[in-house]
Amino acid sequence: MQNIIFNQIKDDSLRIRVAQLLDIPAPQKNIEVVQLPARDGELTIDSGCYKSIEISAEFNYVGNNDTWWSTWQQAKRWLSAKDTTLILSDNPYYFYKVYYVTIDTNTRESLRIGKFKATFICNPYMYRTDGVVPADVTSEEILFIDTDHALIVDTDGSAIATTDKVILIDNHYAKSNPIYTVEGDGECYLQTINGYMRINLMQGSVTLDTDKEVAYLSNGDSANRLVTGDFSVLRLSEGANYITLESLANLSIIPNWREL
């Protein structure tokens, strides 16, 4: 039997059950087709993005005559949630981001039986449940070297390091849109091979959401005025990603691991 957990509530906790296994559609690329009158065939423009997917589920329930309506009302309230998550019981390590749900007519086959269909409009990616917590990252200091590529050392013989840190994070999944939280004081730069963003930390920690392309403070207020640069340069490509933090600030990364 397959169950679903939507908005952190399991279906059978409401005395509702999925009637059959859910079919999961494959995401389709968002490709624009252009036809030119003086040219054979078609031209295509690939945006690199994918269209939303629709996951449909047939639900049914059986109860006493006097609970039919209350169960139906609970179901409608449950499925009215927006911008939340959907987990399938046979794939508990992944979840879908649900934009909203549409509900069809409840077919009342008897006084005790209800049957209806719901369609979950979702982000095309499957997100890992372990990708929404801060990732374990490896941080290394950057050391000074002279023109002969020898380490510059202090009077006690220890290598002299800069205040910068290089962080290695491996992405074994599809390209992701992480959330960075930088804590410190003053101005710092967060840099990848694709570019950098400048962050003013005069008001404490700043969080950068590369999916929504917004920055905010720890109290939720907007911090867009405190950052400069393109959020897209901080997204995590497949494979090894080296991130340089040019300051004494501390960095936390929620990677948002995902797959198609």
**For the chain, what percent of residues have pLDDT higher than 70?**
88
Tens digit of pLDDT for each residue in 105-122? Answer: 999 888 889 999 999 999
Domains defined along the chain, listed by start: 4-126 (2.40.30.200), 132-259 (2.60.120)
Tens digit of pLDDT for each residue in 14-42? Answer: 999 999 999 999 999 988 888 878 777 77
User: Has residue 13 got a pLDDT over 70?
Assistant: yes
Ranges assigned E (strand) in 129-225: 138-143, 161-171, 179-183, 187-192, 195-200, 206-209, 214-217
pTM above 0.85, yes or no: no
User: Has residue 259 got a pLDDT over 90?
Assistant: yes
pLDDT value, residue 81: 97
Q: How far from each other are the two terminal CA atoms of the chain, in whole angstroms?
A: 24
